[in-house]
Amino acid sequence: MLVGAYEGSVGSEDVDRFRSAVCDRHNVDEPELVYRGSLAANEVVDHAAGMGVWLRPFSEYQQVWDHSRYLRKQTADLLADMDYPLDLHVDKRWAPLGEDEPRDGTAASRIFDWLDTAEPRFVLVLGDFGTGKTYLLHALAQALADRPDAVPVLLTMRDLEKGRTLDELLAQHMARRGEDPFHTASFRYLLRQGRIVLLFDGFDELALRTSYERVPYHFATLRQAAEGAAKVVVTSRHQHFATDTATRNAPGHRGRPAAGLPHGSAVPARRRAATGTGGRSVRG
């Protein structure tokens, strides 16, 4: 398959030049011409089809992964999760890594601010057991699902095997979610364009299954995602990031924000009241 790119509005003569100068020379059976301009007229599209050329606008070409089924299933699973009922989530205060005093504002709102940019973002959220890291990512995934500009993809690290590359981790996750076939290259393209937000829950769950020396390299695997305009959020317990210096010296670090959830702030008031009357316990 051959894909050509054309900058601007495309006409029948442009299709003819592409067919004769490129496709015929390389003996391509199913060429595709992607253009970035005003929508081609129907007669131009019909002419291209008659020439055996698939003519597509760039905006349509970017939709290389139909996320609708994935997003519906993820949203349904989040709403049905009785361990983390979203209606009981209370957004927590946060503090930069290395600081003890919480900042004004809450963690989720601050992360949304960090993600609201055309630049790449890699946000690391650290907290002890029970401080609400998983709850936070579930709430972020649900809120992002209602936005048209980016698709949240929530990966629970304890459900995945050790992967040497980011692509291996993504393939494992998508297989578990029933995304078959899954085209890694097209997914990574959308990620680089900032149209996917990767949410990795529980880096420590993956790190516990490897040697101490390999932990920084597994962290660097997640860092691979922060290319182009990619948006990535990772949660972990503190033990693998004991100091600010250790975090900044990790392989692949590029100066992205790091935040902590203060201990004891994870249990919502409504949940505390319910715990003694048959309520479920909160997990971090």
**Is 235 strand, coil or helix?**
strand
Number of helical (H) and strand (E) elements in the chain, helices listed first: 13, 9
Task: Indicate the CATH number for domain 68-275.
Answer: 3.40.50.300
Write down the pLDDT at residue 186: 77
Number of Cβ within a 10 Å radius of residue 142: 17
Of 268, 190, 199, the residue nearest 229 (C-alpha): 190
**Residue of 258 and 118 predicted with greater confidence:** 118
Q: Is the pLDDT of residue 89 over 50?
A: yes
- Please report the sign of the dihedral spanned by the C-alpha atoms of residue 247, residue 253, residue 255, residue 258: negative
Higher pLDDT, 284 or 197: 197
Single-letter amino acid code for the residue at 47: H
Evaluate whether 48 touches 54 at the Cβ level (below 8 Å).
Answer: yes
Q: Which residues pair with 34 in a beta bridge?
A: 5, 56
Q: What is the mean pLDDT of the chain?
A: 79
pLDDT in tens, 210-237: 666 667 777 887 888 888 889 999 998 8
Please state whether beta strands 32-36 and 3-7 pair in parallel, antiparallel, or not at all (unpaired): parallel
Whether 266 shows a pLDDT value over 80: the answer reads: no
Instruction: Quickly state the pLDDT bin for 249 (edges 50, 70, 90).
Output: very low
Q: What is the pLDDT of residue 275?
A: 25
In terms of DSSP bridges, do strands 121-126 and 231-236 run parallel, antiparallel, or are they unpaired? parallel
Judge contact between 109 and 123, C-beta under 8 A.
no
C-alpha separations of 231 from 130, 150, 271 in Å: 25, 9, 31
Q: What pLDDT, on a 0 to 100 scale, did the predictor assign at position 258?
A: 56
For the stretch 107-142, pLDDT in tens is 999 999 999 988 889 998 988 888 889 999 999 999
Task: Output the six-digit token pair for 201.
Answer: 């829950």
Each domain of the chain, given as residue ranges in start order, spans 3-62, 68-275
Best CA proximity match to 203, nearest among 136, 125, 282:
125
Res. 269: pLDDT tops 80: no
Distance CA 113, CA 101 (A): 20
For 186-208, the pLDDT digits (tens) are: 788 789 889 899 999 988 877 66
**Quick one: pLDDT at residue 100?**
76
3-class DSSP state for residue 242? Answer: coil
Q: What is the rounded distance in angstroms from the CA atom of residue 184 to the CA atom of residue 170?
A: 8
CA 188 to chain centre: 10
